[in-house]
Amino acid sequence: MRAQAAYDELIRRARESSLLDSCATLLAWDEETYMPRAGAAHRGEQQALLAGLHHERVTHPRISELLAELEGSALTQDPLSATAVNVRELRRSYNRLTRLPRRLVEELARIVSLAQQEWVVAREKATFSRFRPWLEKIIALKRRQAEAIGYEDCPYDALLDEYEPDARSRALAGLFEVLRRELVPLVAAITYAGRKPDVAVLHRDYPLERQRQFGEQVASALGFDFQSGRLDTTTHPFFATIGPGDCRITTRYSAHCFNDGFFGILHEVGHGLYEQGLDAAHHGTPMGEAASLGLHESQSRLWENTVGRSYAFWQHFFPRARRTFGPILEDFALDEFHFAVNHVEASLNRVQADEVTYNLHILVRFELERALLDGELKAVDVPDAWNEKSRYYLGVTPENDAEGCLQDGHWGAGLVGYFPTYTLGNVYAAQFYARAAEELGDLDEAFARGQFGPFLDWLRVKIHRHGSRYRAAELIKHVTGALPDPQPLVKMLQTKYKRLYRI
């Protein structure tokens, strides 16, 4: 009875802290979507106050007492039970957060809130110098955060571990090397292929309202519940879960770039489906949360690319696209459109990048982040360093800062260490999809008929409902029988694009 009482109190405290955090998330969503720019300073103070209050709650000494009471008790004997998982993950979080001074947490929240608004303006003006002071402040604060948390090898690991528990930059460097070695020759072969898609169709005049309508129709057909979610526009697409029944996704539209808005929607829908698939009964506890950002990205990349760029997907949705956009698509055949949305070409923009070159974009950011944290790169030198790495890995050079180092909002949001989770998501997604195809049969046949439910149900049973029961590598092995491995991704990309480009 004593242990049960301790557990009940622990969960009550966890849920209260989660409720407070959801208030900060709502303010952050509003800041990125509807807040007037002049409100940035006040929003920063709001976020700093909430961050301090949240930190005070999650590091309260009583939590340590409750965890000590529960660890080793009968309630945690089964390591995969909800009780044991919650205790294990709350202990991990407590140990991490108690190393951070409240003043540092508050200052990070305040600076990040201001920096995000400065990034938006700097991006609009394509002027890095406006954002540079804020990046310097964020990197300095992130160094302090890494030192407070502690690390074995390099400060970047302390930040990476927040998003992908147990991941280490040395292992990631090896993963990126495998992908670079395998994919660069594929990019070269595609570049010199005799067969090319006509991508002009993607840059016709697509009315923004029709793009929104089509995107919402597709999102709903894939399983996103608009009674429990919404879609809005922003400078940089993201998702935000406020709580059970309130999952918000965003995108940005371009009148002359179909891919930008549509595949941005699919990406965030993947995140939204994961959030809507988590067990609401466990909300506010680790069992009701995704185990890692890499796993979260695996879901967004699955729906955006593996499903959304498949021929079967467009067999079903291309007729609807024609009805929605009318004359814009009437002179284009399905095969031609499918080839166009799978166009491979080294580009400047990560969000718009194809599957084959995408991970090279992440490699650029991974190396720059590590250099910034290690002190090997100064913020003032970021534009030149970005351009150099873009030339080296992608063979393209930005013409301005908006095309280059200002294109992503992650640094302004303080998300240093986040970028590698995109590549991990691609790796995980390929393994999950291969396993789903083995167990469910011909997924292409189902998608061509507009039947996406069986695949979504499989993901919810195999991945979503587990919450944080397993760490990422453990979950992948549990689902697929193998540890994380880049080879299924490499094989999938080589098979698909050699067939498309006939190389």
Instruction: Report d(CA 371, CA 383) in Å as an integer.
Output: 13
Q: Kindly give the residue spans of alpha helices, DSSP state H, lying in 242-310.
A: 258-277, 293-301
3-state secondary structure (DSSP) of residue 229: strand
> Considering 31, 69, 268, 289, which one is annotated as catalytic?
268
Give the list of residues 6+ apart from residue 339 with CB closer than 8 angstroms, or none: 197, 198, 500
The secondary structure of residue 467, as a DSSP letter, is T
**Nearest to residue 418, comparing CAs of 238, 235, 161?**
161
Closest listed residue to residue 283, CA positions, set 465, 23, 459, 491: 465
* Sheet with 246-251, edge to edge strand ranges: 229-233, 246-251, 239-243
CA distance 371 to 151: 16
How many whole angstroms separate alpha carbon 145 and alpha carbon 411? 15
Degrees to nearest 5, angle at CA 403 with 399 and 36: 130
CB 250 within 8 A of CB 239: yes
Helices and strands in the chain, H and E counts? 20, 3
Q: How many CB atoms lie within 10 A of CB 70?
A: 24
Q: Is-contact 344 354, C-beta < 8 A?
A: yes
Q: Is residue 268 among the annotated active site residues?
A: yes
Handedness of CA 361, 366, 368, 369 (dihedral sign): positive
Whether 201 contacts 332, CB under 8 Å: yes
Provide CB contacts within 8 A for 239, sequence distance 6+.
247, 248, 249, 250, 268, 271, 272, 275
Q: Please provide the DSSP assignment of 384-409 as one string.
A: HHHHHHHHHHHS---SSTTTTTTS--
Three-state SS at 350: coil
The CA dihedral of 69, 70, 74, 80, to the nearest 10 degrees, is -170
Q: Which two tokens stand for residue 235?
A: 């400078």
Catalytic site positions: 268
